Each structure stands twice: as C-alpha cells, then as structure tokens.
Amino acid sequence: MIAFGFCSLHDKFTTAEKSMNKKILSLAVAAAMVVPGAAMAEAILYGKLNVSLDYANVKNVVLPEYAFAEDANGDVILDANGNPTLVKTAPGQDFDGWGMSGNGYIPGAGRASRIGVKGSEDLGNGLKAIYQVELGINLNDSNNNVLSNSDSITYRNTFIGLAGDWGTALIGRHDTPMKISTGKLDLFSDTMADYNGTVGFRDLRADNVLAYISPSLAGFQLMGAIIPAGGATGGGQGLNLNEDSLAGAYSLAGIYSNGPFYGSVAYESLGNQHFNSQSVSLTGNNCPVVVPLDPNDPNSAFESSCAYTDDDSTAWRIGLGLLDWNGFTLTGIFEKREHEFPSGRYEAFTNPADGSFNTFFPDGPDEIELWQIQAGYAFGNSMVKAMYGQADYSSDYSFGPSAVAEAGGALAGSNVSDFYSRNIETWGIGFDHNLSKRTKAYALYTAVDSDAKDVISRSQWDGFSVGMIHSF
C-alpha cells in the first residue's frame, strides 16, 4: 500500500511537471513569435481558417452489384448462342447527409486552413534572403474519427530562397507554376465547389522544387520549376534508381496581369520514370507480356499485359480573366492532359483466329479535356457568382462483340463504355459576404453529373455548403 501510494504520488508529480513544461514551452513559442529581435527580423505570422457546414447527396458510395442472370435453381441462363446475360442484382448505396469542411463522404476539395510564418533578411546590394514555413491544419475531422482529435498536420508551401531585381529563386516545397497560373481565376477556391474537386483540374504542390519567378515587366511574368527527385517517385511507386534526372518533372507558366485583364498559359510534364517502380524500370519496356490461357494448346487464346509506363504524363492549360471590372468578374480555363497515370499500362485478351485484340483495357485515360467558365458580380460587401464546366475522358480501349457477349451483353458493354469514355458536367452558384477585410461568410450550391456513376464510386453528387473564412 505504501509503495502504491508512493507510485501514485510520483505519477501525479510527473504529470504535473510535464503539464508545466508544456505550458512553459507554449509560452516560449508564443513569445518567440511576438517579441521583436534580430532572430525574428521581418517575420510575419499569417494564416487562414476556413470551416463550413455541408450537406451532400453522393451517389453510389457503395457501387451496385452485378451478376449473370440465373433461373429458379440458381443456374446461369444462357442465350441461343450460349452466352450469359449480365444484370444488376443489387442497387448502389448513397450517402445523403451532413458533414463539416469536406470530411468523410462530403465531396469536393478541402478547405485548406493553414498557419505559417514567412519573412526576409536584407543581404545588401538589393539582395535579400526569403523563407516561409506553412502548415496545413484541420478545424474538423480529417481521419474519419470524430473523437480522436489526432488529425495530421501537413506541410504546404515551405521553402527558402533569394530575391532581387532579377526575380526570385526558391528551393523546397511549392505549388507548381501551372497551379499558380490560374489560382486567381477560381471564385470558388477552397470550397465544396473548388474547380479541382468538381471539374478535376490537376493542381500540384511538389516536393524537391527548384523554382524561378521573373519580375513583372509591363504585366508579363514567367515562372519555371524543376524537380530533382533523387530516385523518389509519384503514385506510390517507391524508390526508382532510374528517376535520376535534374528535371524528370517540370512546370512552366507565362502570366499577363495588368489591371482587370489576366491571361496565362502553362505546360507541365511528369516523366515516365516518375510512375515506374524500380523493379519494373530495371526490367524495361518488355511489353507485351504474353501468357497463354492454356499452355498445352498452341492455338490457345492468350492474355497480354504491360506494367511499364513508357510515356510522360503531360498537361497544358490556358486561363483568361476579366477581374473586378466595375464589379464584374469573368474567367475561363481550358486544360488538356495526355497519358494520365497509369496510362500506358494495359491488360488485353487476344483472339487467336486473327491475332487481333478482342479486348484491350488500358489502366488509365489516354486523354482528358477539361474546361470551365465562372462569373461574378460584386456589390457593396457582397458577391454573387456562378460556374459551369465539363470534363471529357477518353481511352483507346477495345471490347469486341464476342467479348461483350461473353461478358454478359448490353449491360457489360455499357458499363465498360461509361468507364473508359466518360463525361462530367458540373455547375454551381454562390454568395459571398465580407464581414470585414479579413472575414468572409459564404453559401453555395454545386452539382457534378457523371456518365460513370454506376461504375465509379462517388463520381456523381450534389450539395450545399455554408461557411466562414478568416485570414490573418
């Protein structure tokens, strides 16, 4: 009992000591942020807190189930040609409910709350050192556990660099020039109707960035960034010793901004080795890999596959805007992507009768074309706004008549077509009201319609969101 009492007293003392140490550490950090001194010269603490209450109807969170039609005895029913018929055996399950700031099943882009510190040091002769550390934070659940309070903190644009009359050079983690090129054109940024979460534009923030931003000359500005990967890859491929280039991935943009007039053009390339694992890369492009379905039959049908990504994934984008011209804003964006990962990989089934592909299923789309227009009108402290956009996914796939019949007929053919050649249509309306220069309240409604709603989970949805943004 005495030992137990001593342990309890010791635990209480240790807990109190830890609590006191945490408080002292917190006060020290706070003091370092606010007390001026040489070490914190020109440091600026800043951030943005963005939270919303959301309601959404999301189609087919659980996809429909399909099977071959059966008779009362459980035997597959065959047609006159001996082929089965594919039928829907169970409907999909929708999410229809409430959430906060895009958590859980709530669709759209995240709210991108953040806190950071940035600053500069005068080095003389018109040169200065610059730095920024920016962290992404969550004001709500982001790990599907509303009682954990253990949501992660992520790094956003975090870098050091040099700046002068010649421009700015930085190294670290940063948005790519393509992302920057149209950032000002999205009136619904960081909300449920953000153009990334609705139309599906590809905006990247990359690690290992070495970037240059030119000074503005009569409104014209150039940006470029390269990514020396050091063997690191994207798409969950791990290390790849052939990803050794200084610029295996790069992004370029030109921007014109003068008064209300805005225009941009950007190009981005992610090298093929960025999407190959080391084992696949070392094997090389040995496609197709052919495996007979019956090794003992020389006339057997055979499967062909390719796990090697041979083409770079590229994108180019054009943006145009008339910004705050007598209260009116009008923007437009067009983007085209080719060889979207994992495009280039495929699985196929070959008909031995003529040696042609009877089925050919690529792992990713060959081409994606996306566009959007937005319009807004500001009056007093408020703005009304609207957007409309489309995305067209296309793939060079093959699903021959005999393969369609064997897979279940018309429904099987329709599902494959919807998956590989799908179209997305999206629109939204919104209202913003500035409560002050730093605080804004907003409300919006947006919808996304997709041809592939029965084969791609959560690809069709609609919802409304009311929220508040405070910047400091």
Buried b (16+ CB within 10 A) or exposed e, 198-215: bbbbbbbbbebbbbbbee
Which pTM value belongs to this model?
0.87
Predicted local distance difference test score (pLDDT) of residue 288: 87
Residues 6+ apart with CB under 8 A from 90: 64, 65
Look at 36 and 313; give whichever has higher pLDDT.
Answer: 313
**Between residues 383 and 148, which one has the greater pLDDT?**
383
For 7-18, write each residue's pLDDT tens digit.
333 443 344 444
**Taking CA 63 as the corner, what is the angle to CA 458 and CA 390, rounded to the nearest 5 degrees?**
35
Q: Tally helices (H) and strands (E) across the chain.
A: 5, 25
User: Higher confidence at residue 19 or residue 430?
Assistant: 430
In angstroms, rounded to a whole number, what is the distance separating the alpha carbons of residues 101 and 151? 13
pLDDT given for residue 81 in this prediction: 86
Q: Residue 3's pLDDT is what?
A: 38
Q: pLDDT tens digits for 285-326?
A: 888 888 888 888 877 788 889 999 999 999 999 999 999 999
What is the mean pLDDT of the segment spanning 233-243?
90
| Polymer length of the chain | 472
Decide if pLDDT at 55 tops 80.
yes
Which whole number is the average pLDDT over 334-353?
85
In the chain, the percentage of residues whose pLDDT exceeds 70 is 90
Indicate the pLDDT class of residue 353, thresholds 50, 70 and 90: low
Which token pair is 296? 């003992």
Mean pLDDT computed over 318-336? 98
**38: pLDDT strictly greater than 50:** no
Residues with Cβ within 8 Å of 159's Cβ and at least 6 positions away in sequence, in order, are 131, 132, 170, 171, 172, 173, 174, 209
The predicted structure's pLDDT at residue 294: 83
pLDDT, position 234: 84
Name 178's Cβ contacts closer than 8 Å, sequence gap at least 6: 202, 203, 204, 251, 252, 253, 266, 267, 268, 315, 317
Which tokens sit at 267?
């190009």
Taking only the tens place, the pLDDT of each residue in 92-139 is 999 999 999 999 999 999 999 999 999 999 999 999 999 999 999 999
Contact present, 154 and 142 (Cβ < 8 Å): no
C-alpha to C-alpha distances, 206 to 158, 178, 183, 242, 383, nearest whole angstrom: 10, 11, 16, 19, 33
Contacts of 472 (CB under 8 A, 6+ apart): 45, 46, 47, 48, 438
Is the separation of the CB atoms in 334 and 370 below 8 Å?
yes
Task: Provide the β-strand partners of residue 132.
Answer: 118, 159
Least confident of 163-172, 258-267, 392-401: 392-401
Least confident of 78-87, 159-168, 316-325, 439-448: 78-87
Q: Provide the pLDDT confidence category of residue 428 given band limits of 50, 70 and 90.
A: very high
Scanning 199-316, the segments in alpha helix (DSSP H) are: 278-283
Yes or no: say if 146 and 138 are a contact pair by the CB < 8 Å rule. no
User: Could you report the per-residue pLDDT of 189-229, keeping only the tens digit for each?
Assistant: 999 999 999 999 999 999 999 999 999 999 999 999 999 99
pLDDT in tens, 167-188: 999 999 999 999 999 999 999 9
Cα Rg of the chain (Å, integer): 27
Alpha-carbon span 151 to 139, nearest angstrom: 9
Structure token digits, residue 254: 């030109």
Cβ neighbours for 154, distance < 8 A, ≥ 6 positions apart: 135, 136
Q: What per-residue confidence (pLDDT) applies to 356?
A: 59
Mean per-residue pLDDT of the chain? 89
pLDDT-derived band at 70 (thresholds 50, 70, 90) equals very high
For residues 252 and 268, the answer to whether their CB atoms sit within 8 Å is yes
What's residue 259's pLDDT? 96
Closest CA to 273 of 310, 306, 247: 310
**pLDDT at residue number 205:** 97
How much is the pLDDT for 143? 87
